[in-house]
Amino acid sequence: MLMLTCPYCGIAADETELHGGGEAHITRAGVEASDAEFEEYLFTRANPKGVHFEKWHHSRGCGRWFHAARCTVTMEVFGTYSAQTLQPPDEILAEIERRRPAASGK
Amino acid sequence: MSTRLQSGGRLIDRGSPIEFSFNGANLKGLAGDTLASALLANDRRLVGRSFKYHRRRGIVGSGPEDPNSLVTLGEGSRHTPNRQATMVRISQGMAARSQNHWPSLEFDVGAAADKLSALIPAGFYYKTFIDPKPAWKHVYEPLIRRAAGLGPAPKDRDPDLYEHFHVHVDLLIVGGGIAGLLAARMAGQAGLRVLLLEQAQAFGGRTAVDVEIVDGAPSEDWITGIVDDLQRMPNVHLQCETCATGVYDHGYVLANERLPATAVEGGRLRNRLWRIRARRVVLATGAIERPMCFANNDVPGVMLASAVRDYIVNYGVSPGDRTVVVTNNDDAYRTVRTLLRAGLDVPLVVDVRPDAPGSPASELRALGVRVANARAVAMVRGSGCVSGVDVCAHAGEGTSLENVKCEVVAMSGGWSPAVHLWSHCSGKLAWDDETGMFRPNNEKPPLTGGGEPFMVAVGSANGVLEADKVVEDAVRGAAKAIEFLGAAAVPGDEPEIKVSAESPPMPVWLMPNGMNRRARSKAWIDFQNDVKVSDIELAIREGFESVEHVKRYTTLGMATDQGKTSNINGMAVIAHNLNRSIAQTGTTTFRPPFTPIPLGAIAGQARGSLFKPTRRTAIDAWHDENGAYWEPVADWRRPYCYRRNGESIEDAVHREALAVRRSVGVVDASTLGKILVAGPDAGKFLDMMYTNMMSTLKPGRCRYGLMCNDNGFLMDDGVVARLDENTFLCHTTTGGADHVHGWMEEWLQTEWWDWEVYVVNVTEQFAQIGISGPQSRNLLRKLGGLDVGADALPFMGWRRGNLAGHEVRVFRISFSGELSFEIAVRSSEGLELWNSIQEAGEEFDLQAYGTEALHVLRAEVGFIMIGDESDGTVTPQDLGLSWAISRKKKDFLGKRAQERSFLAAPDRWRLVGLQRLGGKSPLPHGAYCVANETVDFGHRRMIGRVTSTYYSPILDEPIALGLLENGPERLGTVVEFVHAGGKTSAKVVEPVFYKPAVSARD
Amino acid sequence: MKRRGRYSAFALVREAMRGHTGWQKAWESPLPSRKYDVVIIGAGGHGLATAYFLGKNHQVRNVAVLEKGWLGGGNTGRNTTIIRSNYLQDASAAIYEKARQLYESMSQDLNYNVMFSPRGVMMLAQTHHEARGYQRINNANIVQGVSTEYISPDQVRKLCPIISIDGPRYPVLGALWQSRGGTARHDAVAWAYARACSQMGMHIVEQCEVNAIRTRNGRVVGVDTGKGSIDCDKLAIVVAGHSGVAAEMAGFRLPIESVALQALVSEPIKPCLDIVVMANTVHGYISQSDKGELVIGGGADQYNNYSQRGSFHNVEETVRALVETFPIISRLQMLRQWGGIVDMTGDRSPIISKTPVEHVYINCGWGTGGFKSIPGSGWAMAELVASDQPGILAAPFGLERFGEGRFIDESVAAGVAH
């Protein structure tokens, strides 16, 4: 039963207040995308056994989407952050580096 | 004979007798008795039958570890199978029945299985019942099913109530023994918010039974004292009869509280499910004693040594007059002392250790107790209950040296820490060879969401058994947990306990060491599921070497006790047979719950009207009073039709549809989604969300829009009205409202966050009333207040104004092809306006219509319905809606996807009308159109299907819409549909069946 | 080839007379050889069935099946054992019906009682939309030659008297009924295949984790494992739940996400439920095992997860729905809950496909429908591996479909879970 802190309203929200939205930092491929790029955008997922950057919707709360860095094996959360960014912020990467020196290659 | 002793019993009230029954016999117990202690007090030592061989089963333990004492409780609607007698307190009039036998507990035909046990070892069913093929389903399986199962299933709806209780705490302490109580006191003094849960009816754990003096006072007094102290602390809550059953990620713990039939409003409250978020947990769950593995160790009267003293000390019950104690450790000598103190006879102590220097044996020998070292039990004698034991040399194969008469065998194979909760969430275990136990690996504890240690095990749960060390360990562990929480541990006033030195236990897994084959096939490991040493050996012989394989092949540890007493003994036998250490063998994964939880408790209050609460519109009450036949739509309920004077559903639908065509009808459209999209970039945003161009829509105008997902498939549709330059009101389908709203937010927040757009779901803020039919304008005029003439309010226009005294928006849109209006009004005024409309409509024979008439009407004019014509694999182009796809726009959601080969293929299934040939009844729902050729799979190729099919009352003939490969090119041809019950032919026609006399545009 | 004793009642009596000392290992546990024609990663039901049909249908027997943990220890041993083939799309109906037919004779074919029990699978229609969806599936099944029928509430009541037909929230309007659907003993399916493969001389190597996949010029040449390096001509990846990890080793990515699917059992009780019931509107399915336990399947968590445990609220939702649908179960108790890691593809249908690496084949993405498809999946995968070309059953399930937009979408009719 995950609990994630919404970076907007600051509430530590129970999983039942949230809605998972899958992998984060995927930029939409539009009309100009090639077939391969479009397929990659729609379907190909990192699905790592380890640190995962993912979208969450505080759907039964403040209504905001946010991002989380979470381990898919231990369920550890390295931090939550704004959805309005193209890549994980430095402090999140630093926290991952601190706790998982081996995993921070990405 | 087991019986009530003259004195003693710390948990019973001798002044409060309670009558209960067992298998119909009326018996007497005392307040405080568990059903198990009360049965023993009444000399009921045979309490059930085992699962497979129907062997006689007696009480073995005194708590949740007991594998045998399952009974059925209650009658009628309170019939409850498989309750553990050791965990149920008796109450006045309680009716208990034993299980899994026929015709009676004492004489059970099923026990024939025991005589055939050689033929039905572990896994026998995989090797036989193979031929002939039909015999499994028709002969063997029904026999096995009938023989299996334990208690009979309930037959009625459960009248009792359950509730959930949510709580957040700093520190959860599981276990109210001395370790847990001490930890609670320390954490309480440190100012933390503490919850302590104890599964038993009283605090104190084993200390009350096993330790005489704590801090110079009787242990009982010390426990009372600390419990009093804790109850006075406002930041500490103590809770007994509540078992922590499961640990989940991020500090979530579930606990099940058993309530003594508490009367509350609406019934009797039976269980309360505690849903706890704890920042840290101290695991003080103690340990579970292990049985010993010797021949016939399952005969009623063979008990855990700790349970024997529990019954004497806690309940004043003697399990029998003469007890032989069998042990590999010093702890069992406590049982000897307790028995002697109660005036009971201990003819022999079988201590398997060759010698045990410093053990209490010498002290007891001085009292005249016979202690035989290096000896073992060769077998237990007694057909019904224990009548004696054969004693042999432990080193040998089991040649009987003497026979000792007794009624009880008290066995102790050592203790296993109760580490279940530690393991639920990935805490790792480590095998400790010295003590012979799996203990929590403190290096690899379960983690918090932040990746820090979440749990600290203390006391016996941590593998520390001696009382003085338990105190030390509890203080250490509690300090650690308190520190984790950032508080300061107050230096302890830990109690002083004097214990005499103990000599180490000697791990013994088979008794005697050279146990012969015959004995191994009578030495039980899992008492309930009838798994013996020989079964594990067989599994290993057949190559089932992993612990999980052995468990699954033999069913070891899979009974209702989930292996509490059998797990470690089983692992040890596996290790022994594979010549591996137990550490290498490993253990199975513990899964929640630690003890079973009633399904009703999990469901909680969410029953009946609280199960998936129904969304109701502002006009719901009117529908209900006017014969609505309800249909669940998403979370709402909507009238499917209104039945008048006992007419059929079908007749009602036809009447309603005709009323719209001939005069005027009214429908509650409030459930349609209404999403307000505002901001300078709202038009640009909607151009991406819809396939149409929305940015060019003029204020005051409406446009029918289509939404695709990014896969290119049609997702939702509805009318968009532009309220002003920066504001649009988007209507969605009933089921799509929440999804579309979330979808818009997702794009705005995660992709186009620099666009200035705000989205609000106002579905529930407005009631929406559709008025449709040739008389609709006249009806609106009669309501008065707003010019609804064609010039003032043209087709696909909307106006704000006043109608019958209500502030409204009127949209001139149509889903029936008739002249139509949709009126939106504040929800709070919805019913009032609806009633005004009803009143005004009388002269026009206004009729309310439901969802089904709405569907018939839209199909008659060829309008599509999301969910019928579309199903997630259909594009707007398939539905002939290319006119609603803007070619001017560079991009919109779904555009790129629609260019992919499969979506752009020329032979896609496309929308047509279907006219059934020969017959008045509609084409069957979802009938498939087939071509003559076959596909690779060998069946006829499907080239289309019926998507909507109705009887049209205005046309008096069946109509249908469908998707057909190259559909529009097939107009005029006849195609064949396959469906349940046969085949039907239909002619392919334009998907428009009816043109209203007064059209929507008039 | 090694012959092992046949299982029969006779053999059981013979062994009973000598204390069951004569039974041989169900499968051998050899050390891996240096080289095989085919290496299969994953000794779950699908991997073992692939090996079995490679040997039986294609005479490819120089095969190793490598298993990281213990055989059958993934989703094969963690599911709710439902077998049915009442699917909507042709491709699904074909492979699941093939699987169901193979289940019918599996005990005889493999001389191992896997307890396939065609007790019937019933899918409740609890909204009008769902009812129309099931009627559509029924019609499709008629064309496809899959025997199903759409039945009335009265028939539902007759087949399953303990269902609360009248709701109140979601009354039962009818049901899709497949009388030859049912359940089987999940572990036994893996064991039976393992025994048959071992009898054909194939090597099943447990506790053998693959750490790397070796390729040369875009073609597979072998794998590095915890038990040494192994060469192979062809490599089949059949590791439900961990497919993405294996694919990454081979150097490609998949349209897959791994999530936890929840299940639970009650304590055993005497028979009260003879059939399998699925209630998709309220998200729950239930059957009663031969042991007497109610076996209950619930929903999948909505976040990526490799931990084989899940969140409680899914269990809660399922139990709540089933208590409402089957009121008599309220006083029964949950005995054990667990999770399985399932891999979900973009269209929730499986992948049986060649990959960007030559001679590497992948079978994955069964989502929640893996157990019921085991023999059909193995049949189709063996054909693909043996001939380097998909046969009729596998052809629609290629990876290329995602690029083409050619979905095999089973959720369209009634939001059906597998």
pLDDT digits (tens, 9 = 90+) for B763-811: 999 999 999 999 999 999 999 999 999 999 999 999 999 999 999 999 9
Residues 262-301 of chain C whose Cβ lies under 8 A from any Cβ of chain B: 266-272, 282, 288, 290-292
Which residues are CB-contacts of B173 (< 8 A; sequence separation ≥ 6)?
A: B180, B183, B184, B187, B194, B195, B196, B197, B281, B282, B284
- Give the integer Cα–Cα distance in Å for A36 and A13: 38
**For chain C, what are the domain ranges?**
34-81+186-255+347-412, 118-182+257-345
How far CA B428 is from CA of B251, C187, C309, in Å, comes to 17, 26, 15
Q: Which residues pair with B254 in a beta bridge?
A: B246, B275
Q: Tell me whether A48 touches chain C (CB under 8 Å).
A: yes
Which stretches in chain A have pLDDT values below 50?
104-106
Picking from C33, C406, C413, C56, the residue whose alpha carbon sits closest to that of residue C229 is C33
In degrees rounded to 5, what are phi and psi of residue B519?
Answer: -65, -35
pLDDT band at C13 (very low <50, low <70, confident <90, very high): very high
Structure tokens at B407: 């009624």
Q: Note the pLDDT of residue A104.
A: 46
Query: Would an 8 Å CB–CB cutoff place B624 in contact with chain A?
Result: no
Number of CB atoms found within 10 A of residue B977's CB: 25
| CATH superfamily entry for domain B523-600 | BFD-like [2Fe-2S]-binding domain (1.10.10.1100)
What pLDDT sits at residue B357?
78
Q: In this structure, what DSSP letter does residue B835 have?
A: H
Inspect the interface and report whether the beta carbons of B250 and A63 lie closer than 8 Å.
no
Chain A contact partners (≥3 CB pairs within 8 A): B, C
Q: Checking DSSP bridges between strand C284-288 and strand C276-279, what pairing results, if any?
A: antiparallel
Token pair for A53:
């950057």
Contact C256, C341 (CB under 8 A): no
Q: Is C166 on the interface with B (CB under 8 A)?
A: no
Is the minimum CB–CB distance between B755 and chain A shorter than 8 Å?
no
**Number of domains into which chain A is organized:** 1
User: What CATH class does B671-856 carry?
Assistant: alpha beta
**Domain at B291-413+502-507, CATH class:** alpha beta
Q: Which tokens is B608 given?
A: 């009946």
What's the complex ipTM? 0.96
How far does C221 lie from chain B, in Å, by closest CA?
Answer: 31
Report DSSP letters for A56-85, one per residue: EE-TTTT--EEEEEEETTT--EEEEEESS-
- Segment C200-222 shows an average pLDDT of 97
Q: What is the pLDDT of residue C282?
A: 84
CA distance B676 to C29: 66
Quote the CA–CA distance of B573 and C348 in Å, as a whole number.
Answer: 44
Q: Homologous superfamily of C34-81+186-255+347-412 in CATH?
A: FAD/NAD(P)-binding domain (3.50.50.60)
Report CB contact under 8 Å: B154, C290: no
Closest CA to C325 of C180, C152, C156: C156
Identify the pLDDT of residue A37: 95
Distance CA B350, CA B409 (A): 10
- The residue range of the domain holding A92 is 3-105
Q: Which pLDDT score is estimated for A106?
A: 41
Q: Could you read off the pLDDT of C260-303 as tens digits, one per residue?
A: 999 999 999 999 999 999 998 888 899 999 999 999 998 888 89
Is C400 near chain A, with CB under 8 Å? no
Query: Does the fold of domain C118-182+257-345 match that of domain C34-81+186-255+347-412?
Result: no
The residues facing B392 across adjacent strands are B376
DSSP B57-95: E----SSTT-SS-EEEE--GGG-EEEEEGGG-B--TTEE
Question: Which parts of chain B register pLDDT below 50?
Answer: none
Domain B906-1002 indexed as CATH 3.30.420.10: no
In this complex, is the C-beta atom of C303 within 8 Å of any C-beta atom belonging to chain A? yes
What part of A 8-47 touches C (C-beta under 8 Å)? 15-16, 19-20, 22-23, 35-36, 38-39, 42-47
Fold of the C118-182+257-345 domain:
D-Amino Acid Oxidase; Chain A, domain 2 (3.30.9)
A-C Cβ pairs (cutoff 8 Å, strict): 67
Among A residues 63-102, those touching chain B with beta carbons less than 8 Å apart: 63-65, 74-78, 83-84, 99
**C415 pLDDT higher than 70:** no
Contact C302 A70 (CB under 8 A): no
Note the pLDDT of residue B44.
Answer: 97
pLDDT for B265 equals: 81
The structural architecture, per CATH, of the domain B3-114 is Roll (3.10)
Q: Is A75 on the interface with C (CB under 8 A)?
A: yes
CA distance B516 to chain C (A): 11
Report pLDDT for A43. Answer: 94
The predicted model gives C329-355 an average pLDDT of 95
Residue C5's pLDDT band (boundaries 50, 70, 90)? Answer: confident
User: Which residues on C lie below 8 Å from B598 (Cβ)?
Assistant: 330-334
**Domain containing residue A8: CATH number:** 3.30.2270.10
Q: Which three-class secondary structure string do you get for C196-225?
A: HHHHCCCEEECCCCEEEEEEECCEEEEEEE
| pLDDT value of position B260 | 81
- Bridge partners (DSSP) listed for residue B636: B615, B633
Query: Both tokens of residue C348?
Result: 């929730």
Using an 8 Å Cβ cutoff, are B973 and B987 in contact? yes
Q: Are the Cβ atoms of A84 and B251 closer than 8 angstroms?
A: no
Alpha helices (runs of H) in B119-218, residue ranges in sequence order: 124-127, 133-135, 141-147, 178-189, 207-210
CA distance B822 to B705: 17
Torsion of CA B851, B857, B859, B863, to 10 degrees: -90
Is there a contact between C50 and C363 (Cβ–Cβ < 8 Å)? yes
Contact yes or no for B941/B935 (Cβ under 8 A): yes
Q: Which structure tokens are listed for C28? A: 């051998």
What mean pLDDT value characterizes chain C? 94
What is the distance between the alpha carbons of residues B611 and C281, in angstroms, rounded to a whole number? Answer: 13
* Helix pair C370-387, C90-104: axis angle to 10 deg: 100
Chain A contacts of B751, Cβ < 8 Å? 27-28
- CB of C400 less than 8 A from some CB of B: no
Q: CB contact, 8 Å: C4 with chain B?
A: no
Q: Check: CB of residue B242 under 8 Å from CB of residue B255.
A: yes
Q: What is the model's pLDDT at position C4? A: 62
Residues 6 or more apart in contact with residue B468 via CB below 8 angstroms? B496, B497, B498, B499
Of C125, C140, C304, the residue nearest B944 (C-alpha): C140
Q: Where are the domains of chain B?
A: 3-114, 161-287+417-484, 291-413+502-507, 523-600, 620-667, 671-856, 906-1002
pLDDT of residue B358: 75
Would B161-287+417-484 and B291-413+502-507 be classified into the same CATH topology?
yes
